[in-house]
Structure 1
Amino acid sequence: MARPLRIHAAALQYFDAVRRAGSIREGARRLNVASSAVNRQILKLEAELCAPLFERLPAGLKLTAAGEVLAHHVTTVMRDLERASSELDAIKGLRVGHVELATLEGLCHQIVPEALRAAHAAYPRLTFGVGVMGTEQIPAAIMDGDVHLGLAFEVRRRAELRQLAVARFRLGAVVRPDSPLAARAVVSLRDCLEQPLILPKLNFANRDQLHALFFQSRLPDRGQFEAGSVEMMKQLVLRGMGVAFMTRVGVEQALQRGELVHVPLHHQRGPVFSELGLYARADTSLPIAVEAAAALLATAMRECEAMEGGGEV
């Protein structure tokens, strides 16, 4: 990983580390400096701003209103500094950098690994951190500056987020080849009611989509099984325990091996699509390394969309 530049006041860097860690002690450990030095810098900042930045709670530190304002400024400053560092490295011909990505568990089966493979081949000195989160956590991680990029389905549009790339995938019923539904070209929700339903839990964006479809079909939005991961839903279907609803993303290998069948879901006027988006903060420029990674992720998204026929209407 490239050595970070240290050209801004230590107080800002210390504040940012404490904000992320939730405690002075942990922030100091990550910075590899003494806790007393970090505490002094925080107190100095609070004195200069004439306002407390953290609430000192038994469970840790929590940002005050003034702390939230400063956190937004510091995050922007740190991201701009990171971009400057990346540009300086590019001038030197080093081609180094680090990228933090937040994504969903199901995207770690094909799209993200393919993008990382391409990145490693093109930029072998680029380093990556990949965190797996729920759909609702990813926008917050981007806006808080904890990650550079977020890759997720059905992210609600926010002014603070910039969409870098998008791909669409058909939502469908996933069944075993011996299921009566497997030979169908398309299915409706009512077609699936004779089998136990395997639904995603609320941490899945697709659950909101399905809730609307069930409501419009005047059907109860309940499953005999509800799972918080693509892998769990896949395993339940493989064991003949029902029909799951998802895109092909995350179960690609089982579909290719013929262990599962994905039957597109039709609802009222036609097919149902789920939108996969790649996002970054709207108010900061991306470091060169992050731009390169975003381009490779976008390529992997488009290739998967084309292969699965997700863009067809």
Structure 2
Amino acid sequence: MQLVPVSLAYFLEVARTGSVSEAAQVLNVAPSAISRQIAKLEAGIGVPLFVRHPRGMTVTDAGSRLLGHARRSEVETAALVEELRTGRGADVRTVAVACSEGFARRVVPGAMAAFRRAYPDVTFRLDIVPRQEATRRVAEGIVDVAATYAMGPQHDVRVECAVVIPVAAIVPVGHELADRRRITLAELCAHPLALGSAGTSQRELFDIGAQLEGLTVRPALVCDALAPQYEFVRSGGGIALVGDLGDLDEGAATEGVAYVHVDHPVFRQREAQVQTMLGRRLPWAAAQFTELLVGRLRPPHTAVGQ
């Protein structure tokens, strides 16, 4: 059921796809109908909402502000329609969360379990996705809250908490580095390494650090998933890297690994963030869970921004 004005719905789809023709395919309408509605919307507001390119369209500054409003309207409309259909309102407590894999290991599911002990009627949905996708999903209202890594300012979401997370080397129990508290990047690179792909934030920072130190590194394994990296380490294949979200000491011995912090300032450029949608008033359960997640992420690290 469409409660959002047609012109706003068409605007949303063009902004998402970057193309009138692609938006027309998604909406199953004629491209000319979309163009007319966009032109009518721009004329009514009095400013252009898109920059037209030979191969697509991008939103202007004004279009970006309208896009945020349209996304919030879409989310609130969907919630209202569901409430009207089911006859249930405040008693419906479902929280949708997106997070990158490091957060899905212990931090987020542990927070969910703790929350349900206090509020057993709350249901969670968890999407484990790459860091940029987690941010996109919360920005577009697909999920209520995201826990992910980020580098640099975030303009499309509200950052509820931002914490610099140390990086640790995962080494097998009994390894020559296992009893060390800290190691340098050069010491790390003297061993075979399992690293994420070039598109991951941790790998990007590692490569910058190695370049600054004049280190040449050829990874023994390139893999973005944590489980294969852990097994690679346990099996003696080399060393991997992981963000220390405060959960590394839990069960480390039973996992057959030890953790050693890697001492290099380059890794301080990355933050762990809890993100919500700009301008959206979260439902009660989502707001309470976000507060719990922020509290769990901050200690024992130092918050660097809101």
Q: TM-score normalised to the size of structure 1?
A: 0.71
Conservation of the 8 A alpha-carbon contact between 1:176 and 1:261 = yes
Deviations 1:215-271 (A, max 9, x none): 221112431211111112111101100111222457655514261110111237x99
Aligned alpha-carbon RMSD (Å): 4.1
Distance in 2 (CA, whole Å) between partners of 1:118 and 1:86 is 27
Partner secondary structure for residue 187 of structure 1: strand
Structure 2 residues without counterparts, runs of 5 or longer: 42-54
Q: State whether structure 2 residue 140 is matched by structure 1 residue 140.
A: no
Residues 186 and 266 in structure 1, CA contact (< 8 A), matched pair in contact too: yes
Local SS of the residue matching 2:158: strand
Q: Which residue of 2 aligns with 1:263?
A: 260
Cα distance in 2 between the residues matched to 1:45 and 1:207? 42
Are the aligned partners of 2:206 and 2:267 in contact in 1 as well (CA < 8 Å)? Answer: no
Counterparts of 2:182 and 2:168, CA distance in 1: 8
State the match for 1:98 in structure 2: 94
Quote how far apart the aligned CAs of 1:48 are: 3.9
SS at match of 1:255: coil
Q: Tell me, in whole angstroms, the C-alpha distance in 1 between the residues paired with 2:92 and 2:258.
A: 42
Q: Report Cα offsets for 1:36-64 as digits up to 9, x if no partner.
A: xx749x98665444479xxxxxxxxx985
Using the TM superposition, name which of 150-159 and 228-237 deviates more: 150-159
1:238 equivalent to 2:222? Answer no
- Which residue number in structure 1 is paired with residue 193 of structure 2? 197
**Is the CA contact 2:83–2:89 (under 8 Å) kept in the aligned structure 1?**
no
Work out the CA distance in 1 between the residues paired with 2:77 and 2:130: 29
Measure the CA separation in 2 of the matches of 1:44 and 1:120. Answer: 47
Measure, in 2, the Cα distance between the counterparts of 1:115 and 1:208.
29
Counterparts of 1:68-217 in structure 2, within 5 Å, are: 71-81=67-77, 94-217=90-213
Counterpart residue number, 2:218? 222
Is the Cα contact below 8 Å between 1:104 and 1:134 reproduced in 2? yes
Determine the C-alpha separation between the residues in 2 that align with 1:223 and 1:241: 11
After superposing the two structures, state which structure 1 stretch, 270-279 or 211-220, moved more. 270-279
Does the aligned pair in 2 maintain the 1:51–1:66 contact within 8 Å?
no
Unaligned runs of 5+ residues in structure 1 are 28-37, 53-61
* One-letter amino acid matched to 1:191: E
Q: 1:182 to 1:80 in 2, by over 3 A?
A: same
Deviation string, structure 1 residues 77-133 (Cα, Å, up to 9, x no partner): 124557889999xxx984423332221122212111112112323333333322111
Distance 1:93 1:231 in 2: 40
CA distance in 2, matches of 1:219, 1:211: 9
Q: Secondary structure at the match of 1:150?
A: strand
Q: What is the correspondence of 1:287-302 to structure 2 with a 5 Å cutoff?
A: 287-302=283-298
By how many angstroms is 1:146 displaced? 2.5
Distance in 1 (CA, whole Å) between partners of 2:25 and 2:32 is 15
TM-score (norm 2): 0.72
| Residue 14 of structure 1: how far off its partner (Å) | 8.8
Q: 2:152 is paired with a residue of what secondary structure?
A: coil
State the distance in 2 between where 1:217 and 1:11 align. 54
Alignment check: 8 A CA contact 1:86 1:287 kept:
no
Q: Percent identity?
A: 19
Cα offsets for 1:147-175 (capped at 9, x unmatched):
22221123431222221123443212210
Query: What is the DSSP-based 3-state SS (H/G/I as helix, E as strand, rest coil) of the residue aligned with 1:265?
Result: strand
Q: Residue type of the partner of 1:264?
A: H
CA contact (8 A) 2:24 2:34 kept: no
Counterpart amino acid of 1:281? M
Paired residues in the alignment total 280
Q: What is aligned with 1:282?
A: 278
Alpha-carbon displacement from aligned partner over 1:1-60 (angstroms, at most 9, x marks no partner): xxxx98645786798699889888987xxxxxxxxxx749x98665444479xxxxxxxx
